[in-house]
């Protein structure tokens, strides 16, 4: 035996059905009797699911109000005009009045919406320090370079939390009041601000640094808040379980949106006399107007919405299923016509 034959035999796969690709295999031949029913069945299934999703989405109630403050659009225009494209003056407030003729079925979710805000910008989206947000002490003192120019303050102190996402934190606030009887007093509607962030974000990704002598403020000592913030991160809430990097509003904001028009959950209304929804009557929403949007041509809205088994209002998903299902049905009919036509020609050829 020559050397080449020996080498070739050493590298030759074993003589098994698997290595020699002799395993039994199914090689379907798609005939018209198989392909056409598949297209029609898939089309009917998609259309049925699309109709369910579409009508379920249309059954969701929404009530929205644009409080950007464009001239002549309401009393929020005073705050917007005072800012003139910059940050509005502190403690500027306005209100939205509306009435409900019947029960707004619950559970009711309160959202804020921003338009023309590109959180999906690549440079903006990476301007954060995930190690710092996870509570790592070394990252707290030495933020990553991705956070620049919001990495360090003018005094040279590390910014916590650093980056453009944290610096642009949405800081408008809302309270809802209900007038049960005409001329009667307004009663505040309880807003449930807990559990509005993703479970994985709140319990896994975001952590406060270890306390120093039992104090979170001492843990952040030697750091500076982002330039647009008016208070440090450890004062975001008086609740010790909802402040610092684990503040629910902050965690919700840090999950960036994929589209320039997006909404984020602010609160749920599901407590006390409002567990079944918003009863009929007059309502007032007090708005603390802080967040500037006119500088980039954006708008901000407040939205009350109910939900269904599929979640919030989203007609696109149902329409997408309807379009795909219709295309499957249409393709099936085209293939059926082609099949009948050429089958007749084959039959004529056979007769000849």
Residues 103-137: tens digit of each pLDDT:
998 889 999 999 999 999 999 999 999 999 999 99
Please say if the pLDDT value at position 346 is more than 70.
Answer: no
Greater model confidence, 136 or 34: 136
3-state secondary structure of 280: coil
Greater model confidence, 245 or 76: 245
The 10s digit of each residue's pLDDT in 293-325 is: 988 899 999 999 998 877 778 888 899 999 999
How much is the average pLDDT of 216-231?
94
The 10s digit of each residue's pLDDT in 243-268 is: 999 999 999 999 999 999 999 999 99
Please spell the DSSP secondary structure of 186-227, one letter per residue: EEEEP-B-SS-S-HHIIIII--PPPPBTTBHHHHTTT-B--T
Look at residues 161, 112, 70 and name the one whose alpha carbon lies nearest to residue 288: 112
Measured CA to CA, the distance from residue 82 to residue 89 in angstroms comes to: 7
Residue 352's pLDDT is what?
Answer: 55
Nearest-Å Rg of the Cα atoms of the chain is 30
Residue 201's pLDDT is what?
Answer: 94
Other beta carbons within 10 angstroms of residue 233's beta carbon come to 22
pTM above 0.85, yes or no: no
Residue 175's pLDDT is what?
Answer: 95
How much is the average pLDDT of 187-214?
93
> Mean pLDDT in the chain?
88
Residue 168's pLDDT is what?
Answer: 96
């Amino acid at each position: 035996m020559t050397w080449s034959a020996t080498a070739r035999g050493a590298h030759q796969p074993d003589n098994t059905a698997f290595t020699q690709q002799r395993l039994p295999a199914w090689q379907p031949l798609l005939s018209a009797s198989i392909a056409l029913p598949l297209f029609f069945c898939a089309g009917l299934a998609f259309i049925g699911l699309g109709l369910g999703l579409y009508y379920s989405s249309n059954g969701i109630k929404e009530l929205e109000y644009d409080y950007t403050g464009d001239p002549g659009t309401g009393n929020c225009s005073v705050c917007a005009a005072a800012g003139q494209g910059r940050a509005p003056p502190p403690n500027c407030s306005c209100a939205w009045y509306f009435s409900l003729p019947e029960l707004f079925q619950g559970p009711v979710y309160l959202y804020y919406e921003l338009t023309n805000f590109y959180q999906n910008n690549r440079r903006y989206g990476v301007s954060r320090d995930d190690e710092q947000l996870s509570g790592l002490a070394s990252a707290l003192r030495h933020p990553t370079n991705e956070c620049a120019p919001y990495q360090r303050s003018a005094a040279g102190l590390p910014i916590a939390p650093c980056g453009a996402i944290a610096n642009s934190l949405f800081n408008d606030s809302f309270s809802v009041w209900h007038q049960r009887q005409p001329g009667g007093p307004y009663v505040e509607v309880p807003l449930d601000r807990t559990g509005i962030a993703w479970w994985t974000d709140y319990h896994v990704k975001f952590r406060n640094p270890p306390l120093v002598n039992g104090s979170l403020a001492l843990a952040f000592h030697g750091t500076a808040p982002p330039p647009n913030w008016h208070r440090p991160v450890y004062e975001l809430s008086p609740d010790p379980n909802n402040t610092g990097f684990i503040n629910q509003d902050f965690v919700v904001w840090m999950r960036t949106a994929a589209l320039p028009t997006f909404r984020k959950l602010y609160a749920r209304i599901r407590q006390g006399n409002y567990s079944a929804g918003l009863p009929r009557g007059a309502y007032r929403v007090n708005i603390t107007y802080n967040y500037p949007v006119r500088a980039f041509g954006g708008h901000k809205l407040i939205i009350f919405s109910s939900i269904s088994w599929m979640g919030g209002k989203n007609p696109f998903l149902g329409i997408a299923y309807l379009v795909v299902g219709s295309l499957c049905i249409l393709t099936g009919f085209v293939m059926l016509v082609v099949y009948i036509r050429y089958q007749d020609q084959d039959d004529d050829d056979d007769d000849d």
